[in-house]
Amino acid sequence: MFIKIAKQTLEEEVISSEEMVAVLEDDYKDDEVDEILTEIVCGIYEHRTPLAIYKYKP
């Protein structure tokens, strides 16, 4: 499951894979999204925006 952690409150929220893809599509080119998703699921990468941290929790 994908987790969104609000930076201000550190509150965790479960988000869908579709929501995670939408976040990544805002920051990356379409051809990079699959690779980034794989890295998140493998625990290699946590995506960060000014408001939140996104990661995968098995």
Task: Answer whether 0.85 is exceeded by the pTM.
Answer: yes
Q: Tell me the C-alpha distance between 57 and 8, whole Å.
A: 20
So what's the pLDDT on residue 56?
Answer: 97
Helix (H, G, I), strand (E, B) or coil at 43: coil
The DSSP annotation for 1-33 comes to -EEEEETTT--EEEE-HHHHHHHHHHHS-HHHH
**What residues does each domain of the chain span?**
2-56
| Distance in angstroms (rounded) separating the CA atoms of residues 35 and 12 | 24
Please tell me the predicted confidence (pLDDT) of residue 18.
96
- Measured distance CA(56)–CA(25) in Å, rounded: 17
pLDDT, tens only, 2-58: 999 999 999 999 999 999 999 999 999 989 999 999 999 999 999 999 999 999 999
